[in-house]
Structures are given as C-alpha cells and as structure tokens.
Amino acid sequence: MEKKNDKLFIIIAGLIIGIIAAGLAFLGNPKNMGFCIACFLRDTAGALGLHKAPPVQYIRPEIIGIVIGAFVAAFAKKEFGSKGGSAPMTRFVLGFFAMVGCLMFLGCPFRMILRLAGGDLNAVLGLVGFVIGIFCGIFFLKNGYSLKRTYSLTAGEGYWMPILEVVIFVLLIARPAFIAFSEEGPGSMHAAVILSLAAGLIVGVLAQRTRLCMVGGMRDLVLFKETRLLWGFIAILVAALVTNLVLGGFKLGFTEQPIAHTDGLWNCLGMLLVGFACVLLGGCPLRQLVMSGEGNADSAVTVLGLMVGAAFCHNFGLASSGEGPTPAGKIAVIIGIVVVALIGVVNTYVKASAAEEAA
Amino acid sequence: MCYNVDMNTYIATFFMHFGSIRFERLCKSKGLEARTMPVPRSLSSSCGTCVKYRAEEPLFDPAHDEMEQMVICNDDGSYTQIYKAKNL
C-alpha cells in the first residue's frame, strides 16, 4: 500500500517538475535549460566573480529555491539535521570532477533529460555514457566502496548552505556593482526572478519529499531491481516532452541544438564521468543541493566542489561550447575519470585490506 | 529462554551500501530471509540502503559499526526504532 502511494507520488512529482522545467524555457530560460544544476551553479559562480566568462554569469534563483525549498520541507517534517563528516574532501573532489564532466556534455543529468525531451539526440549519447558511468560506480559499491559514516554535527553546521543561499538572493536583488550579470549568451536568458524562484522552491520541496535523484533511479534498478526513483526520471522526461510538443519546443536531430555540441564521443565520456562520480557521491547534483538544504554538510561541500569545478572549467578553457569540446577539456575529463576510479579503488580495496589486518 | 516462534520483520539501515550487503550475508548465513533494498521514504529522507529481514529476535553485527538504525515493522505499517547509531 505504502509502496504504491510512494510510486504514485514520485510520478506526480516528476510530471510537475517536467512541466515546470520545460515551461521555464518558454518563460525566458535558455532552450532545454529550464533547469540545469551544473549550468546554474556555473552561472552563479560567474556572477560572484569566481570565473570571468561573460556569457555565463547570472545568479540563478532556481538554485536558491531548490535549497530553501528542501530546507523548508525537511524542517517542517523534522527531517532537518546537521550531519556530515563522511570524507568531505573526497566529496569535494568528486563534485569538482562531476562538474568537469557536466561542462564537457553541457548539462547535468537533469538537463540531459530536458535535452532528450527537446529532441536533442546528442543527449542519447550522453545517456549511454551516463549509464556506463553508473555501472562503473556500482562495480565499486558492490565490492565494498565506502566513504564511511556521517555524524551528527554542531547544531549550526547544517544552516550554512540555506543561509548562503539567502545571502546570494540578497545579492541578486540588490545587484551591487561587483556582481556580474551576462548581457548576452545563456547567462542573459532567464525567466523573471519570482518565477524562477517559485519554480526552484516547488522542485526543492518535491525533490526533498520524494528523494528524487537522476543517478539513484538507474542505480536502484541495477542494484535492487527497484524502479521507484526511475519512475521520477521517466515522469520528468514524459512531462517535459509533452510540454515541448505542445509549446513547440521539440526539434529532433543532432545539429543546431541549443547549447549543445555534436561530438558524440565526448558527450558520452563527459556523462560517463558524471555518472561515475555521482554514484560514488551517492546522488546527482540536484540531490546534492537538496541534501545540502536538509543540513547535510557533506553535500554542501560537494556543492562547493561543483562550483569551484565550474570556475576552473571556465578559467582554464575546459568547458565545451556549441562549437564542441576543447582539447584542455578532453584532458580534464580523462584526468577526472582516472581520479574518480582511483577514489573508487582507494575507498574499496585499500581500506578493506587495512580492516582485515586489524581483524 | 524464549519460545516465541512468532517471526518479526526488521529493517536495518546502513550508512553505506556495502554495510547492507555484508549484513544481508550475515542474515543469510543464519538462515534468515533477508533482502537488501533502498530505505523506505517514510523511514528516512536519506537515500541509503537497508536490509529487510525476518527473525524472532533482532540481529546485530558486533564486528562492524556501519548500522545507522534498526526498526521493527509493526502490523499497521509504522516502525518502532530499536537501535540508533551513536552520534547520529
């Protein structure tokens, strides 16, 4: 009974999120980018001056909304709690390289769904890489991978991320001179602040209530043959697809897709890195944002890793553009896959053998 | 000595996935019916894994401290917590 309700709830939540996400693109956000956690964290990092790429600087209210929405939902249900202490620096590095992969592909797993729903066939190759990456991560999970337990932390610890988002919101509204907003390019395209914020809040609440996670769906299917989270993924895809068809935002093909490139191999490898890193983190970038709103300091550190990763990508020319990936970006993705694999090995085998010696 | 043959359903949640796998193996080595699965949403907002098993008495693994909490599943669908990790 409870299980059926659970599934129904996540399907409804997914449908609502899909409609909102596709709708935002018609209200001013870039095409197929109603939501993109990676792009939006990158834009926010740019607005704060962490990178100097003029086309991608804007404080995205969706991010603020998701964190605050998750915070409010968790708080109301007494699920908020300051927790952390599970390998924070490892999570920072995983977040960093997850972003490198996202900006190779040009989108987080959430935007990958929205690109699929917009008819962007390049995202199919991204999906293939994403699934391969998830399998790589699952290999380590099955063999003993662990970043060790989380602990209850000092009462204030979990509030930092929600507070940070409020401060960033004030900067968005006040817009002091040191905050940079794009005048052209993707960063200049955005829905009205109030609409973006409302959309973020709704998605934050729904994602907190359902534990929606783009990586979790595939992972649970493979590990437990459990489809609950995957239904959320599918519901978003279907709702966004229908919304795009109705509003005329669907264009099938590989070429001339909005904020996308056609290099199939690197679309695939970029998302492979994302899937791999996110399984080892235990959740996709959206899920990390939501958990940071629930008071999870490890997820907050991961979000910081994502933001720093985004800043590096644009400062060092690692991020792809519509023209395709950059040579430096390709090197960074390869380094990322190697580093993530090493993190997997170290936290699976090295620790296991040490424990055996102790025993 | 307890002669109660009524079987209870327990759910043990773990901090990391491998803790569940190891616990499931322990259950099965004792002949208990056990299954690793995602933690039910109503039990926790975290997205870890858990082991649901049937036994007369709750089972603990003294060799490992990966368990987050253990609950007994009541007939009405609610849970009663019987163990919680320290500093959680």
pLDDT in tens, A6-53: 899 999 999 999 999 999 999 999 999 999 999 999 999 999 999 999
pLDDT at residue A166 above 50?
A: yes
In a domain, A44, yes or no: yes
**Rounded to a whole number, what is the distance in Å from the CA of B14 to chain A's nearest CA?**
9
pLDDT at B61: 87
pLDDT in the model for residue B63: 78
Q: Average pLDDT in the A212-234 region?
A: 93
CA distance A296 to chain B (A): 10
Domain membership of residue A301 (yes or no) is yes
Per the domain annotation, does A359 fall within a domain? no
CA–CA dist A86, A148 (Å, integer)? 6
Model confidence at A1, pLDDT cuts 50, 70, 90, reads very low
CB-based contact B49 A223, cutoff 8 Å: yes
Domain that holds residue A251: 2-354
| Residue in chain B nearest A74 by alpha carbon | B45
Q: Is the pLDDT of residue A296 over 60?
A: yes
Of the partner residues A141, A151, A216, the one whose CB lies closest to the CB of residue B87: A151
**Mean pLDDT computed over A212-238:** 94
For A67-91, what is the mean pLDDT?
97
pLDDT tens for B23-77 read: 999 999 999 999 999 999 989 888 889 999 999 999 998 877 789 999 999 999 8
User: Is A299 inside a domain boundary?
Assistant: yes
Please say whether the beta carbons of A336 and A273 come within 8 A: yes
As to burial, measured by CB atoms within 10 angstroms (0-12 exposed, 13-18 middle, 19+ buried), residue A238 is: middle
* A239-277 residues labelled b (16+ CB within 10 A) or e (exposed): bbbbbbeeeebbeeebeebbbbbbbbebbbbbbbbbbbb
pLDDT for res A108: 97
Comparing C-alpha atoms, which of A59, A19, A85 is closest to residue A179? A59
Is a pLDDT exceeding 80 seen at residue A98?
A: yes
Total number of domains constituting chain A: 1
Q: State whether B65 and A74 contact (CB < 8 Å).
A: no
- Closest-approach residue (CA) in chain A for B68: A149
H/E stretch holding B11 reads strand B8-14
Chains A and B: how many Cβ contacts under 8 Å?
A: 72
* List of chain A residues whose C-beta atoms are within 8 Å of the C-beta of residue B18: 141-146
Nearest to B42 by CA among A210, A10, A292: A210
Break chain B down into helix, strand, coil percent, rounded to 5: 15, 40, 50
Give the number of residues written for chain A: 359
Q: What is the mean pLDDT of chain A?
A: 95
Are the beta carbons of A259 and A119 closer than 8 angstroms?
Answer: no
A294 → closest Cβ in B21, B38, B45: B45
In this predicted structure, what is the pLDDT of residue B9? 96
Residue A139 has pLDDT above 50, yes or no: yes
User: Nearest C-alpha of chain B: how many angstroms from A288?
Assistant: 11
For residue A37, is it within any domain?
A: yes
Q: Percent of chain A, pLDDT > 90? A: 94
Residue A193 vs residue B19, higher pLDDT: A193
pTM (2 d.p.): 0.95
Q: What is the pLDDT of residues A232-285, one digit of tens each?
A: 999 999 999 999 999 999 999 999 999 999 999 999 999 999 999 999 999 999
Tens digits of per-residue pLDDT, A298-342?
999 999 999 999 999 999 999 999 999 999 999 999 999 999 999
Interchain pair A149, B21: CB under 8 A = no
